[in-house]
Amino acid sequence: MHNEQLFDHKSLQIYSLLMELHLKNNHLSKTELCTCLKITAPTLTQLIEHINSFDPHILTVTRHEVILELPYKSSTITNLNHTLLATSPKFQLLDTYFKHSYLTREEAAQQLNISLTSINKLVGECNTLLKEFKLELKQNMVRGLGIQYFYFYYNFYWNNPHIGNGLDNIVLSDHGFKDFASTKLNCDLNIIQVQQISLWLSLLSAKHELLQKYFVHEERPENFYAIRETPLFQMLLTYFKQNWTYLNVSIIEYYSYLTFIFLNIHNVIYYPITEINSLFVGSECQQLLEQVTTILTNSYSFNDNFISLRSSLYFTINKLLLLDGYYYAYDVLVLKNSARKTQPFEEKVIQEILQIPVSLGFKLPAYKLTAIRDNLRMMIYPYKNLKRQALQIGVISQLPIATRYAYITGMQNILNKDHNVVVSDFVAHNHYDLIISDFELTEPQQFHTPILTLDDLNIQSNLTLLEKTIAKLESERYQPLILQ
């Protein structure tokens, strides 16, 4: 699920307009915007007027262009997006059902000030969103497993801070977990991690009555008893006994289980501590994590911060294997932009990961396979220039020596952003994966190497051709590990 799915139609258009401008260097022609948003020119004018009625300094409109004048992450635009979302009927209904837990259709219609016919339609729309989380609005409440309920609502509020009526009467607190983590888990939480655990524990606390009456009586999942034997679970038992003294033993176990899952899908505790103390019999994460790591290290020469990538993989894999549904942290347009920038080499790496026999054995639904692909694109992107094998490029140029090396250095700098290449002056008998010349060679066949003719790096079409050629060569040199 994407957060944008909570918007109503007009709000989504406004949100998408601002995001498109943000991703295109803050300005686009009116024609391009209409094409991107699939709207007419009059509709574009209406959307611009609506945005500028909120704050006249957000957009500037010229004869042909629309310009975003404020940073996309500015408080003004963030407040605008929150205002739009807070008025969305789907957001309001889901928020209301967290606040009240039990609510008849008539009461929900009264809360939102809409007709019973409208509320029935709205419930259907919300159930479409909740379906992948194995949740459903029926019999006057959101029904499903407790872990699914809290996974959904944690992301619902984490991705939309400060705008939920459901949180109006909740004082966010870490409930002593920060100190417990420092003294018992050897982990000092940073400000974001404190906010994450505070929201999670505050949601559990706010729904204590619902947990007692409904969720705690559900049948325990298959992995519950194996998880109960892990050191992290035992530590969580100690935490809840010490800090939530009003809970009885059976509920403490259930709270510990919920929080164990939460800590294994979010980077709250230092990753190595989480991993080493969470391995349980039947865990499917570890084997897949090791094989994904093997494919990635076969393809890239990671620097010292590989632990960050492995951490991202661990929490993402657990999220996909331990839970139903996937609540994206990224905007749809950000993901589409990432997909456009992904090179053929990266796509081959991702495809091989999806073909790991262990991964295939899980028989994941299509939306989870898409989530894996989307997340891997975002994770791998920073390492594009760290591919394990460097391409050797020889340059044959008629430029005088004073400018030839500037030409070679300029090319190296351009390509180093996204590729691992070594660009040098051509020397006979050296091995090259590609020869670049600034003039037409008379006997190209003598080189037995692909040749690219580029006369000027200041021409965009030449740069595009250079990038595509390098990306194609890298893709052809990809060495898969899985036997076909």
User: Is residue 242 scored above 90 in pLDDT?
Assistant: yes
CATH of the domain at 27: 1.10.10.10
Residue 260 and residue 284: Cα distance in Å, rounded?
A: 16
Cβ contact 204:262 at 8 Å: no
For the beta sheet containing 421-425, the strands, ordered from the edge strand earlier in sequence to the opposite edge, are 421-425, 391-396, 434-437, 451-453
Q: Compute CA distances 191 → 152, 197, 206, 254, 308, whole Å.
A: 22, 10, 22, 27, 18
In terms of domains, do 401 and 467 share one?
A: yes
* Alpha carbon distances (Å) from 21 to 29, 65, 115, 208: 10, 11, 37, 44
Which of 158-162, 309-313, 349-353 shows the lowest per-residue confidence on average (mean pLDDT)?
Answer: 158-162
| Mean per-residue pLDDT over the chain, rounded | 90
Among 86, 104, 122, the domain-final residue is 86
Q: Is residue 48, in this structure, part of any structural domain at all?
A: yes
Average pLDDT over residues 14-28: 89
Q: Is residue 118's pLDDT more than 80?
A: yes
Residue 165's pLDDT is what? 63
Q: Are 390 and 420 in contact (CB under 8 A)?
A: yes
Residue 226: inside a domain, yes or no?
no
Which residue among 385, 413, 437 closes a domain?
385
Exposed/middle/buried for 242, CB within 10 Å: 0-12, 13-18, 19+? exposed
- On the CB side of 408, CA atoms within 13 Å amount to 21
Pairing of strands 421-425, 434-437: unpaired
Are residue 368 and residue 292 in the same domain, yes or no? yes
Give pLDDT tens digits for 42-53: 999 999 999 989
Residues 62 and 93 in one domain: no
Given a cut of 90, whether residue 103 has pLDDT beyond it is yes
299 lies in the same domain as 376: yes
Say if residues 376 and 306 touch (Cβ distance below 8 Å): no
In a shared domain, residues 400 and 427:
yes
pLDDT of residue 320: 93
Shared domain for 290 and 374, answered yes or no, is yes
What is the band of 160 on the pLDDT scale with cuts at 50, 70, 90?
Answer: confident
Are 299 and 380 part of one and the same domain? Answer: yes
27-48 burial: b if 16+ Cβ within 10 Å, else e: ebebeebbebbebeeeebeebb
The reply to whether 171 falls in a domain is no
Answer yes or no: do 366 and 429 share one domain: no
292/340 same-domain check:
yes
Indicate whether 428 belongs to any domain. Answer: yes
| Domain-located, residue 249 | no
pLDDT at 445 over 80: no
User: Per mean pLDDT, which range of 234-243, 301-310, 390-399, 473-482 is the poorest?
Assistant: 301-310
Q: Are 400 and 375 part of one and the same domain?
A: no
- Note the residue count of the chain: 484
**pLDDT over 90 at 462, yes or no:** no
In a domain, 355, yes or no: yes
Count the domains in the chain.
Answer: 4
Q: 162 falls in which pLDDT band (50, 70, 90)? A: low
Give yes or no for residue 460 having a pLDDT over 90: no
Q: Are strands 141-143 and 391-396 parallel, antiparallel or unpaired?
A: unpaired
- Of 381, 366, 319, which Cα lies nearest the Cα of 151? 319
Of 77, 111, 144, which residue is a domain's last?
Answer: 144
Residue 467 forms part of a structural domain: yes
Q: Using DSSP bridges, classify how beta strands 136-138 and 59-61 pair: parallel, antiparallel or unpaired.
A: unpaired
Same domain, residue pair 79 and 97:
no
Range of the domain at 323: 285-385
CA angle 278, 282, 286 (to 5 degrees): 55
Same-domain status, 431 and 448: yes
Q: Give the up-direction half-sphere exposure of residue 367: CA atoms within 13 A in the CB hemisphere.
A: 13
Least confident of 335-339, 342-346, 432-436: 335-339
Give dist(CA 89, CA 96) in Å, integer: 10
Domain membership of residue 251 (yes or no) is no
pTM: 0.90
The CATH number linked to 118 is 1.10.10
The DSSP output letter for 161 is T
Say which CATH number the domain at 464 has: 3.40.50.2300
